[in-house]
Amino acid sequence: MDRDLMRLMRSVKHPSHLKQIHALVIAAFPSLASFLVRRLLSVPMVDYAREVFDRIPQPEQSLSNSLISVYSRLSSHEEAIEAFRSMIRNGVCIDSYTVPPIVKSCLSAADFDLGKQVHCLAISCGLDTDVFVQTALMNFYSRGGELASAERIFEKMDTKDPVAYNCLISAYSKSGDVLAARKMFDEMPEKSTASWNSLISCCARNGDYRGALRFFERMKDDKCTPNEITLASVLSICAKLGDLNAGLSAKKFIDGNNLYRNTILSTAVVEMYLKCGAVGEARREFDKMKKRDVVTWSAMIAGYAQNGRPDEALELFENMKNENIKPNDVALVSVLSVCADSGSVKACEEIGCYVESQGMASNVFVASALLDMYSKCGNISKSRQIFLNMPKKDTVTWNSMIVGLAMNGLSEDAFAVYKQMIETGGQPNDITFIGLLTACSHAGLVEMGLEIFRHMKIDHEIVPQIEHYACIVDLYCRSGRLKDAYDFICRMEVEPNAVIWSSLLSASRIHMNIEFAELSVKKLAKLDPDSSWYYVLLSNIYSSTGHWKEALNVQKMMKGKKVQKVAAYSWVDVDNKLHRFLVGDTSHPRNTEVYGTVNGLAMQSTWVDHDFDSGLGL
């Protein structure tokens, strides 16, 4: 009868039949409980298996191992840990099968103390010479950032498992030690596909994309077969390089070798197209995919956003929700950024409500994007409210608030937030200072801007980027100090770009400075030959100052070069309707009122021409 029942347990097709068999086991065959637990775990009906398990008076070691192993495989790490603790409490010995899953769960649950205790226990039980135990512990230490412990175990291994080599390569790679990773790879007696993959991702992780692609070629020369993981890495490298040719040849390899396109690999193809600017191709691949997960959707949405196609990004976000894929923080961050740039107050408010309804507003990434979005559509008080309610703030959070305040003309508040950032141990970066310099620029605080620029270089050791230089040039220009701006440009440690010369040109127009205008246009014509706006501006400056002949010459030259004036529209959102207008446009039915308001605003604005003490204590 025992045997019949066991055969039955093996053969049942439907999980619920196991429950019926359970009744029989309890009633007549308690000795078969362990066998039933194993069957339940293999289905898996883990909770049910656990109930049966808990009623077994003295579960054998291998059964406890199976339970821990299943919990660990299903990412129920807390349960695995709990099961392990009760195993120890009940005096059950551990063996070499207990260690790998429990150590894996300790790592995933970030319970490093318990992981180390398991290691001690393994040593006291004499398991530390078992190759599976060693590999599991190496993995635990290298992923947990304790490279030295991992190295010690590796040194002690009698037979160095290939997996252990790969584990160390990956650990060195994560710690940025490319040389050590490379040495490990060279020392390996047998290189598997995974070894090559580790090496390729090591290069990629540390920024050597071309080196990674060279190893991909060498891998093929060595007759080592690339798999899906190799190609997913290679495609992601092509994406980062924006190298469409390399990306296409990787894709050809996938098709030519009939590699199975799992979701990750297909997403990598989509991503490669997106980062190379081939949005249409990306969408075609996306539409062809049979299964798309939240990463696929997020990548496509972000791709539209980054390629300047906000409407399609928002449309796709709706499709995503309709397909019952729950947007996570990454997807929301992209969508929030799209709304922030869309200029539509309605779209911003809708997504804002959605985010709050999903309980995602406390996520640090989402909240930062959310407060940025509100500040861009002018709702700075809402931004502040979100900012104040955030339990955790990262550099992006602080930056978003500083930049938001600066853009909304609240310079002093921006400085105050910076002060608070420093006091609470926040780490400012290059963008933080762009925000502060923008604040100075908007308030006309030249001396303070220069002081912040010095403070950034000296106290925070941040190397100024072209954007920082542009802020200073803008600062001088806005306060009419064109000569200072020009001298600063000449002293810059980087080559001035079109943005820099544009600032000087715009200021030259405001202050009718022909000398600097001509100079800037000469530079702009070289740096940005496809544009024409600077010729228009130069011609306007000539006409406004009575230099009719020069104005005519510029216009002639523009005709000769077939340079066309591109209409630059401005827009304003009133009651969720976008109104578009041109300079001097009178087509709007209420244009008289519009101009009346604009002129009224211009009368009200006053120029701050003195620096004030912000109390920043620089």
Q: Applying CB under 7 A, does 400 fall inside the site for DNA? A: yes
175 binds DNA (CB under 7 A): no
The string of DSSP letters for 361-387 reads TTSHHHHHHHHHHHHHTT-HHHHHHHH
Torsion angles phi and psi, residue 459, rounded to 5: -80, -30
**Residues numbered 117-146 forming contacts with DNA, rule: CB under 7 A:** 139, 143
Instruction: Report the nearest approach of DNA to the CB of residue 609 (Å).
Output: 22
With b meaning 16 or more CB within 10 Å and e meaning fewer, what string describes 558-575?
beeeebeeeeeeeeebee
Radius of gyration (C-alpha) of the chain in whole angstroms: 32
Cα 400–402–408 angle (5° rounding)? Answer: 95
Cα→Cα distances 339→128, 349, 352, 360, 377, Å: 56, 9, 10, 17, 9
User: Is 349 within 8 Å of 317 (Cβ atoms)?
Assistant: no
The answer, yes or no, to whether the previous bond of 44 is cis (omega within 30 of 0) is yes
In the complex with DNA, which residue's Cβ is closer, 134 or 233?
233
Smallest gap from Cβ 219 to DNA, in A, equals 11
Instruction: Name the residue nearer to DNA (CB basis): 59 or 435.
Output: 435
Is there binding between residue 108 and DNA (CB under 7 A)?
no
Q: How far is the CB of 594 from DNA (least distance, A)?
A: 26
Q: Is the CB of 470 or the CB of 504 nearer to DNA?
A: 470
Among 127, 194, 452, 477, binds DNA (CB under 7 A): 194
Given candidates 333, 380, 386, 414, which one binds DNA under the rule CB under 7 A?
333
Distance from the Cα of residue 151 to its chain's centroid: 31
Q: Among 108, 175, 227, 249, which residue interacts with DNA (rule: CB under 7 A)?
A: 227
User: At its nearest, how many Å lie between DNA and the CB of residue 93?
Assistant: 24
Stretch that binds DNA, among 175-183, 398-406, 415-423, 595-603 (CB under 7 A): 398-406
Q: How far is Cα 489 from Cα 468, in angstroms, rounded to an integer?
A: 12
Structure tokens at 548: 């009719």
Residue linked to tokens 């542009």:
470
* Interface map 344-373 toward DNA (x if CB under 7 A): -------------------x-xx-xx--x-
C-alpha closest to that of 55 among 80, 30, 35: 30
Asked whether 477 and 485 are in contact (CB, 8 A), the reply is yes
Question: CB-wise, 46 or 299, nearer to DNA?
Answer: 299
Distance CA 525, CA 532 (A): 8
> Residue type for 438, please?
T
User: By CB under 7 A, how many residues form the interface with DNA?
Assistant: 72
Applying CB under 7 A, which of residues 149, 306, 307, 540 lies at the interface with DNA?
306
Which lies closer to DNA via its Cβ, residue 329 or residue 356? Answer: 329
The sign of the dihedral angle between the CA atoms of 78, 81, 83, 85 is negative
Q: Which residues, 6+ apart, have CB-to-CB distance to 25 below 8 Å?
A: 5, 32, 33, 36
Of the candidates 143, 56, 136, the residue with the CA atom closest to the CA atom of residue 103: 136
Q: Which is nearer to DNA, 66 or 195 (CB)?
A: 195
Shortest distance (Å) from residue 351 CB to DNA: 13
Dist CA 118 CA 103 (whole Å): 7
Nearer to DNA, 118 or 299 (CB): 299
Cβ closest to DNA, residue 52 vs residue 269: 269
Q: Whole-angstrom Cα distance, residue 237 to residue 231?
A: 10
Q: Which is nearer to DNA, 135 or 539 (CB)?
A: 135
Q: Which of residues 251-270 bind DNA (CB under 7 A)?
A: 262-265, 267-268
Q: Which of 87, 94, 302, 405 binds DNA (CB under 7 A)?
A: 302
Among 294, 422, 536, 616, binds DNA (CB under 7 A): 294
**Candidates 147-155, 175-183, 397-405, 445-453 — which segment interacts with DNA by CB under 7 A?**
397-405
- Whether the Cβ atoms of residue 440 and residue 449 lie closer than 8 Å to each other: yes
Quick check: 222 and 238 in contact, CB under 8 A? no
Q: Please tell me whether residue 229 binds DNA under the rule CB under 7 A.
A: yes
Where does this chain touch DNA (CB under 7 A) — which range of 50-58, 66-74, 466-474, 477-485?
Answer: 466-474
Could you say which residues in the range 471-490 bind DNA, by CB under 7 A? Answer: 471
User: Do residues 95 and 65 touch, judged by C-beta distance below 8 A?
Assistant: yes
Residue entry with tokens 């510029």: 554
Residue whose CB is less far from DNA, 492 or 558: 492
- Minimum CB–partner distance for residue 428 and DNA (Å): 10
Q: Residues 531 to 590: which contact DNA by CB under 7 A?
A: none
Query: Which of 148-156, 195-203, 484-492, 553-561 is the region at the interface with DNA (rule: CB under 7 A)?
Result: 195-203
Interaction pattern, residues 415-454, with DNA; x per rule: CB under 7 A? --------------xxx--xx--x----------------
